[in-house]
């Protein structure tokens, strides 16, 4: 499984869940975040500033594209013939493109491609996540915590792209 955007907001959770379910995980992130992604359990890490996972290289059974910075056609090149590509983030044009082209590609090939719509969790999925959390297999990665009065600074920090995991806004902080 390849996770594009393995070091951002949702990527660390995706890496941990995939590993807990037994997947061989390749995380895509910048080199400065590679150690964090490896520390979450990723078997391989691709530095997107040096290598494009959609051009040559291995093919994947599953691609979870959280970063949303590749077109569905680029993602398709990195899939095995019966692979699955799921877009979880990206710009509005990328999402609509994925909805339209994903359906057509899925109908015309054995590859399944599309956008993940939010829907309520099934009770079995929630129970599995609870077990993984209780077993310590899934932990939140918190990069920094800001006071609510520092909201502008927090947003500015997020916009730099340097966050590794979650940025938390707190109305009260211990020792504050």
User: Residue 137 — pLDDT band, cuts 50, 70, 90?
Assistant: very high
Q: What is the CA 81 to chain-centroid distance, rounded?
A: 22
Long-range contacts: 38-46, Cβ < 8 Å, 24+?
40/6, 40/12, 40/15, 40/16, 40/141, 41/15, 41/16, 42/3, 42/6, 42/15, 45/6, 46/2
**Residue that wins the pLDDT comparison between 24 and 112:** 24
Rounded to two decimals, what is the model's pTM? 0.85
The pLDDT of residue 108: 83
Domains of the chain listed by start with CATH number: 2-115 (3.40.50.720), 141-176 (no CATH)
What is the pLDDT, as a whole number, of residue 174? 60
Among residues 89, 93, 113, the alpha carbon closest in space to that of 103 is found at 113
Dump pLDDT digits (tens) for 69-126: 888 889 999 999 989 999 887 778 887 887 878 888 887 887 887 776 666 678 898 8
Helix, strand, coil percentages in the chain from 3-state DSSP, rounded to 5: 40, 25, 40
Q: What is the pLDDT of residue 79?
A: 93
């Amino acid at each position: 499984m390849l996770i594009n955007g393995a070091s951002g907001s949702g990527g660390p959770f995706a890496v941990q869940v995939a590993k807990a379910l037994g997947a061989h995980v390749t995380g895509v992130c910048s080199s400065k975040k590679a150690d964090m992604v490896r520390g979450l359990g990723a078997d391989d890490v691709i530095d997107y500033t040096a290598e494009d996972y959609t051009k040559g290289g291995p093919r994947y059974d599953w691609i979870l594209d959280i970063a949303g910075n590749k077109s569905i056609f680029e993602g398709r090149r990195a899939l095995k013939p019966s692979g699955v590509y799921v877009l979880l983030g990206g710009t509005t044009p990328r999402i609509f493109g994925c909805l339209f082209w994903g359906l057509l590609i899925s109908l015309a090939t054995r590859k399944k491609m599309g956008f993940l719509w939010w829907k309520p969790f099934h009770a079995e999925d929630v129970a599995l996540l609870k077990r993984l959390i209780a077993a310590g297999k899934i932990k939140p990665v918190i990069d920094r915590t800001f006071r609510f009065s520092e909201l502008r600074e927090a947003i500015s920090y997020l916009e730099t792209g340097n966050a590794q995991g979650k940025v938390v806004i707190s109305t009260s902080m211990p020792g504050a």
